[in-house]
Every structure is written in C-alpha cells, then in structure tokens.
C-alpha cells in the first residue's frame, strides 16, 4: 500500500468521525434525538430458496440505534467510548489491540465482546476495516516456508530458516516487500500438524508456505493469508480435521465469518481448495477403527445447520456433498489418525499426493 494513500485514508476517517460528532451535536442543539443507523451484513443465510443476496458485499439491512431503548443507548454509549479512543489513536498514529481498549475501561465495557461489537459498529459506520481504526489484534497464527517480507521495517526472513515458525505479523497492512519462491500455500488447522511438518522439514522438500491459525483463525491470520494470495497469486490448500469443527474452520478461511461480514472482502480466501481430510480418506488410507469417533448429537446439529448455508449450495456443492457424507457415516476423525502407520505419512505421502491430484484435476 502506498504511503500517501494511507495518509489520505486516515484524514478521511478523522473527517468522517468529526462529521459524525458534529451531526450528533446539531441534533442535540436543536432538540432532536440522535439516530445512528448501522448497516448489517451477512455472508450467508439459511434460506432454502436460492434467491438470497449473500454473495454481494452490499449491506443486507440496517439497525437503527436511538436513545429510546436502554439496550440501544448502552450500545451508543459503548460506541462513543470506543470512538473517542479510536480518534485519539488515529490522530497520534498509535495502535492498540482490542484487549488494550477493553482494559482502558474494564468496568464500563464489562466484557471484551462489548468492545468488539463497538469496533464492528464503528467499522460499519465509517465504512472501513478494523486496521483503519488503528485497532490491531496480535495474531495467533504461525507461518514458515519460502517467504520473506518486512513489516513496518522489521524483517521476516523465513527463507533463511525454512522450517522455523514465525508469528504472523501484527500490522498486516504494513507488510511490504513480499518475496516468495513458493509454488503454493498450505493452510493447516492445527499447530500440532504445523509442528509435524516443520519437524519433517516439509518446506525443504516442498516449495511452499505453510500457515496455521492454531485452531480457529483470527483476523490477522486471515488478513495475512488474503494479503499473500493477492501479492503472490498462488494456489491455497487447506488441511483440516474431518469433523464439523474442522469444516467450520475451512469455511471461515474460505467465506469469512458472520461477525466480520462487513469486512468480508479483506478477510476471505476466495479460491482456497480443500485438501482434506475427507470422509472417504478413512477408507482410502485405512484409518484404524479406533480412530473413528462417532459424531455427537451436537456435532450432528452443527453439521445439519452448516449444510443449510447458502454459500455452500451456491459456490461449493462438492464440499457440501462431503459434509453430507460425513453426516451419513456418522463418524469423524482427526488428521493425525492418518499418521498411525508412519509419523511422516502426512508430509511424505498424503499432502504431496493430494497436491498432485489437485493440480491435475480441473
């Protein structure tokens, strides 16, 4: 991103915050009750009819906040508190994490989720991403492989140490000079799998970048992945457990989350491929019976609900079929179950063969 663009974006945000403040003051001065309307976004619905508009990034509705209801007044209160902090951050070009903001008034905010919602409201209100507010989250994610970049001056030279885990950068928007010799990006759900691949020197043998969100991927990890996809134009493969939890993680990488639906475009990984594990893998790779766990009632409920999501029907019917198969078989298994025969089975057999077949298939 160009420096000048950043500056103009910042001034723009400050100007919009000032306009907002002014309009509230004008309302109050003239005895009008201020009204704040916040667009609502969604990235999927569960309508059986296919004629929804979830694929568009346009708002799907509006919430009107006034001082007539206590719950809305509380939300406005929280919004203004956080907005005040944001204005100061942006003016002074400082950054803070959501957690930092929470700890500025823990008794007023009561919970981190309150701050998070206020940040979301502000992003929607001022039509920007969270990083524009100078609110950052320190990522949970790890990266290794054929990659080199700088984040606000700091060097991340993964190339120099191919099988070492580097933390995903905090200020993703300030990542520059990305250099890569990789052929693809591999996203793995779990840190254990990531560590296994590191131990197996996976990146030494395969020209790739490996990323993990260590479970459910946070905003920085998803944003970083998106940034790499844009800069490097590489195919992305995702490896998750064969269970509803793993599928949810896969869907979050691919389609984004409902909470951050307003900022979906900067967070999702549109062309991501599902590498595995598929329900059918248990037979193909003869996963031992004791590693196949029955789906719990909760698992089944989750899966049934996920099957209704419109984006699967619309964009990924084959993923949906796999999910249905999982439900039909009534069993789940973890990625590690594939490695019972040999510890390096994943890095030596499973992943390379899957990548190869993905490359052949259209």
Rounded distance, CA 164 to CA 145, Å? Answer: 8
Burial 296-313 (b: 16+ CB within 10 A, else e): eeebeebbeebeebbbbb
Residue 128's φ and ψ, nearest 5 degrees, are: -145, 175
Per rule CB under 8 A, is residue 306 in the interface with another protein? yes
Instruction: Kindly tell me which residue out of 7, 284, 305, 321 binds another protein, with binding defined by CB under 8 A.
Output: 305
| Smallest distance from another protein to CB 107, Å | 11
* Minimum gap (Å) between residue 346 Cβ and another protein: 24
Residue 76 and residue 252: Cα distance in Å, rounded?
A: 29
Structure tokens at 226: 């998106």
Least Cα distance to 83 among 41, 129, 126 occurs for 126
State in angstroms the smallest separation of the CB of 40 from another protein. 5
Select which of 74, 102, 103, 285 is catalytic.
103
Residue 293 near another protein by CB under 8 A: no
Nearer to another protein, 248 or 336 (CB): 248
- Asked whether position 358 contacts another protein by CB under 8 A, the answer is no
Q: Is 25 an interacting residue with respect to another protein (CB under 8 A)?
A: yes
Neighbours of 353 (CB within 10 A): 11
342 makes contact with another protein (CB under 8 A): no
Active site residue 103: yes
Contact pattern from residue 52 through residue 91 relative to Zn ion, giving x for each residue in contact according to CB under 5 A and a dash for the rest: x-x-------------------------------------
> Which residues between 142 and 161 bind Zn ion (CB under 5 A)?
none
133 binds Zn ion (CB under 5 A): no
Q: Which is nearer to Zn ion, 26 or 315 (CB)?
A: 315
Which two structure tokens, joined as six digits, stand for 211?
Answer: 């990323």
| Alpha helix (H) residue ranges in the chain | 3-29, 70-92, 98-104, 106-109, 112-125, 191-199, 202-205, 219-232, 244-255, 264-267, 281-284, 297-307, 310-315, 317-329, 345, 351-360
Please tell me the distance from the alpha carbon of residue 264 to that of residue 262, in angstroms, as a whole number.
6
Pattern 90-119, Zn ion, x by CB under 5 A: -------xxxx-------------------
Q: Give the span between the Cα atoms of 265 and 58, in whole angstroms.
A: 11
**Other beta carbons less than 10 A from residue 104's beta carbon:** 14
Contact call for residue 345 and another protein (CB under 8 A): no
Q: Which does 310 bind (CB under 5 to 8 A by kind): Zn ion, another protein, none?
A: Zn ion
Binding mask 70-89 for another protein (x = CB under 8 A): x-xxx-xx--xx-xx--xx-
Residue 27 burial (CB count, 10 A): 13
Number of chain positions touching another protein (CB under 8 A): 79
Residue numbers 169-188 binding another protein by CB under 8 A: 170
> By rule CB under 5 A, what string of x and - marks binding of each residue 306-335 to Zn ion?
----x-------------------------
Residues labelled catalytic: 103
Q: Which residues bind Zn ion (CB under 5 A)?
A: 45, 52, 54, 97-100, 310
């Amino acid at each position: 991103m160009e420096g000048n663009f950043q500056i103009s974006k910042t001034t723009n945000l400050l100007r919009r915050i000032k306009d907002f403040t002014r309009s509230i003051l004008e309302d109050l001065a003239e005895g009008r009750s201020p009204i704040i309307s916040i667009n609502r976004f969604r990235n999927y619905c569960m309508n059986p009819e296919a004629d929804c508009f979830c694929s568009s990034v346009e708002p799907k509705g509006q919430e009107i906040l006034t001082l007539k209801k206590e719950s809305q007044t509380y939300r406005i209160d929280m919004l203004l508190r956080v907005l005040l902090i944001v204005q100061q951050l942006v003016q002074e070009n400082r950054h803070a994490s959501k957690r930092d903001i929470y700890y500025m008034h823990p008794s007023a905010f009561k919970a981190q989720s309150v701050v998070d919602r206020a940040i979301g409201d502000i992003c929607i209100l001022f039509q920007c991403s969270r990083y524009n507010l100078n609110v950052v989250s320190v990522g949970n994610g790890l990266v290794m492989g054929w990659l080199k970049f700088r984040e606000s001056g700091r060097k991340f030279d993964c190339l120099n140490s191919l099988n070492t885990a580097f933390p995903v950068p905090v200020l993703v928007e300030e990542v520059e000079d990305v250099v890569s010799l990789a052929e693809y990006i591999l996203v793995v759900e779990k840190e254990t799998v990531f560590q296994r691949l590191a131990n197996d020197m996976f990146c030494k043998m395969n020209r790739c970048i490996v990323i993990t969100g260590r479970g459910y991927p946070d905003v920085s990890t998803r944003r970083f992945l998106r940034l790499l996809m844009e800069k490097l134009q590489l195919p992305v493969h995702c490896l998750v457990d064969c269970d509803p939890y793993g599928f949810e993680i896969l869907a979050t990488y691919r389609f984004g989350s409902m909470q951050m639906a307003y900022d979906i475009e900067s967070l999702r990984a549109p062309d991501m491929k599902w590498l595995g594990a598929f329900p059918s893998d248990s037979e193909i790779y003869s996963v031992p019976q004791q590693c196949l766990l029955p789906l719990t009632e909760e698992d089944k409920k989750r899966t049934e609900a996920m099957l209704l999501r419109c984006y699967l029907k619309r964009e990924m019917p084959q993923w949906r079929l796999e999910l249905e198969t999982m439900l039909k078989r009534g069993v789940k298994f973890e990625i590690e179950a594939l490695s019972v025969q040999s510890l390096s089975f994943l890095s030596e057999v499973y992943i390379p063969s899957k990548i190869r077949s993905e490359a052949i298939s259209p």
